[in-house]
Chain A
């Protein structure tokens, strides 16, 4: 789960990391009020889950409250890379003297958190890594011991020669590690970490991604999920305990298991179609999950045929068949539905579906080809 900048910076501020004064606004009037309260030039920043907001025109500087209102109105009307801007963050503009980078990710290869710092902040860290890798300093943290103060200091000295600023930066790094750990984050990034004209070290921007598996024990973070920032069907799928990712193709896919669901999509592409989605109904599937899955897939106007591909292990094919019958009674699909049920209780499933006269397939490849062929044929009414 991705947090918005205004949410991430609140976590940083709660941990004691200095951030510019400011607040989030959903309307131009709110933005104006915040700017007035701050009483100095402000930054107005679009709050959407995309990188490169600045280049896309989603970050602007306003000299006074009236300008902040006008800019907020313009930014709130924007779509950045297809995502509508619903909020802006209004913060006091800082005079930037130096920009650096501090980020923490969980490194899958070493199975440790890795802290990366760079004196070349303010640009994408991937860009720095590609052009000037010597400008990036990394530290792998022993997760059992945690980050030791000397380690944070040593990283901070890579960023600042001035002892006072290095001390402030070390404090920021240590606190960011705590935020990363205590939020079950998979990424926590401050870019840029700046030194201003007064010599203060401040987190000017913040990005935090959360490991979804940690949300069950972090209710205050789970509550930050922005349902408006995702496709409504994806929220509906999560409520029904389904893994769903919407794509742009015409072949709707309902599959059990994430690996098989990906492989099914790949085969759709391989045989000349385009998948409409990724959808995993999970392990022990109840008929109700199949019904929810069908509802979501059939609500996608791009879908021209549906492929149900189940390899029964724990999942019982007869449970899936019952769900299919139920879904047909409720939704009466107007697009063809191709069914492939193999494995546990497949005979019982075939008996349940026998009266429905649906196109069936024995193998994965045949099922995919059939779904593609039927998508191209207009349905007789």
Chain B
């Protein structure tokens, strides 16, 4: 089992004729995802590795029955691509693009809410439900099916954690990168709630970083609503205040958003925090073992 995407997910790739779009469309297909269409305005009628290309998302949906879109277009056009996907009735929009102004995001989110669409990202690696589907850029080779849900604000750090889990024998239900921007469509809480309700998920790994208060909000949710164990890692303990650390959202402002605050909040909520991503499997073993013992 999984959250947000599964073997029935039908994917349309927006920006499929671009360098990243065409490469990752093929990677997703090779992983087994149903990549049923691509969109590049003006290139309708072409195909990319056997995937038909359309001029608009509306046409692509009508012809292919796509229900999920993944966006690989430059920042100046990505916001329009999000509106277009939502207006074409796409239910799940995954925006990989980095560099979208936050002022644009705060306008598009209410529109998505009204349209009933979920946005993951922007500035994210997408998600993968091992053995079922992949939407985005996460490497398929490092995952394996299993009972651990993974949710993270970053990309390669998530791969590092997933790889540690896989090597230690912990497979994953779904791994999801929610994005490193200050304003994103899907929060930690949205994912925790979905994992809590997913019968295929038994425990969750949460990977956060400095900036904002989403980890603190997640900690409050864990304490109040999660029956499944959560373990965490928080990046940025050595980050200086006031400096943007790569991700637009990773910045300590006015003393708020520090790693120490987030770690303390998670511990208080009963979610142990690993000192290194490679220690996550050991923490999982402990919390999942405790549960197994409690069930006896």
Interface residues of A (CB under 8 A from B): 106, 108-109, 111-113, 126, 142-144, 181, 184, 186, 211-214, 216-217, 243, 245, 247, 255-263, 265-270, 275, 278, 280, 283-284, 311-315, 342-344, 363-365
Verify A278–B235 contact, CB threshold 8 A.
no
Indicate whether A106 sits within 8 Å of B159 (C-beta atoms), given known contacts A261-B245, A365-B276: no
Verify A262–B245 contact, CB threshold 8 A.
yes
Residue B243 at the A interface, CB < 8 A? yes
Q: A257 to chain B: which residues have CB within 8 Å? A: 154-157, 246
- In the bound complex, how far is the Cα of B125 from the Cα of A311, in angstroms? 14
Q: A184 to chain B: which residues have CB within 8 Å? A: 101-103
Verify B248–A263 contact, CB threshold 8 A.
no
- In the bound complex, how far is the Cα of B249 from the Cα of A278, in angstroms? 15
A to B contact number (C-beta, < 8 Å): 169
- In the bound complex, how far is the Cα of B112 from the Cα of A144, in angstroms? 13
Q: Which one, B37-45, B58-66, B197-205, B207-215, is touching chain A? A: B207-215
Residue of A nearest to B275 (CB): A270
Verify A106–B209 contact, CB threshold 8 A.
no
Residue of A nearest to B142 (CB): A343
- In the bound complex, how far is the Cα of B276 from the Cα of A134, in angstroms? 42
Q: Which of B102, B105, B236, B243 contacts A266 (CB 8 A)?
A: B236
Residue of B nearest to A266 (CB): B237
Residue of A nearest to B211 (CB): A108
Residue of B nearest to A274 (CB): B238
Name 12 A/B residue pairs within 8 A (Cβ), A-sorted.
Answer: A106-B103, A108-B214, A109-B213, A142-B110, A243-B244, A245-B243, A258-B180, A259-B154, A260-B157, A262-B209, A266-B259, A278-B245
Output the residue of B76, B160, B209, B259 with the most chain A CB within 10 A. B160
Verify A108–B212 contact, CB threshold 8 A.
yes
Give me 8 other A-B pairs in contact (C-beta within 8 A), A211-B248, A258-B250, A265-B239 excluded.
A111-B106, A214-B101, A214-B103, A217-B101, A256-B156, A267-B276, A311-B156, A343-B142
- In the bound complex, how far is the Cα of B276 from the Cα of A313, in angstroms? 20
Q: A109 to chain B: which residues have CB within 8 Å? A: 212-213, 217
- In the bound complex, how far is the Cα of B156 from the Cα of A365, in angstroms? 15
Verify B235–A263 contact, CB threshold 8 A.
yes
- In the bound complex, how far is the Cα of B239 from the Cα of A245, in angstroms? 9
Verify A278–B159 contact, CB threshold 8 A.
no
Q: A106 to chain B: which residues have CB within 8 Å? A: 102-103, 106, 182-183
Residue B145 at the A interface, CB < 8 A? no
- In the bound complex, how far is the Cα of B27 from the Cα of A344, in angstroms? 13
Cβ of B91 to closest chain A Cβ, rounded Å: 21
- In the bound complex, how far is the Cα of B146 from the Cα of A69, in angstroms? 72
A-side binding surface: helix, strand, loop or mixed? mixed
Interface residues of B (CB under 8 A from A): 20, 75-76, 99-103, 105-107, 109-111, 125, 137-139, 141-142, 152-160, 163, 180-183, 207, 209-210, 212-214, 217, 233, 235-240, 243-250, 254-255, 259, 275-278
Q: A212 to chain B: which residues have CB within 8 Å? A: 244, 248
Indicate whether A259 sits within 8 Å of B138 (C-beta atoms), given known contacts A267-B276, A269-B238: no
Residue of B nearest to A141 (CB): B106
- In the bound complex, how far is the Cα of B258 from the Cα of A98, in angstroms? 35
Verify A313–B139 contact, CB threshold 8 A.
yes
- In the bound complex, how far is the Cα of B167 from the Cα of A364, in angstroms? 14
Output the residue of A243, A266, A275 with the most chain B CB within 10 A. A266
Q: Which of B103, B110, B142, B153 contacts A259 (CB 8 A)?
A: B153
Indicate whether A259 sits within 8 Å of B180 (C-beta atoms), given known contacts A266-B236, A280-B246: yes
Verify A263–B160 contact, CB threshold 8 A.
yes
Q: B181 to chain A: which residues have CB within 8 Å? A: 213
- In the bound complex, how far is the Cα of B100 from the Cα of A268, in angstroms? 32
Verify A181–B139 contact, CB threshold 8 A.
no
Verify B235–A262 contact, CB threshold 8 A.
yes
Q: Which of B152, B207, B238, B276 contacts A275 (CB 8 A)?
A: B238
Residue of B nearest to A1 (CB): B244
Indicate whether A259 sits within 8 Å of B240 (C-beta atoms), given known contacts A106-B102, A108-B212, A245-B245: no
- In the bound complex, how far is the Cα of B108 from the Cα of A111, in angstroms? 11
Residue of B nearest to A142 (CB): B110
Cβ of B127 to closest chain A Cβ, rounded Å: 14
Q: B160 to chain A: which residues have CB within 8 Å? A: 260, 263, 311, 364
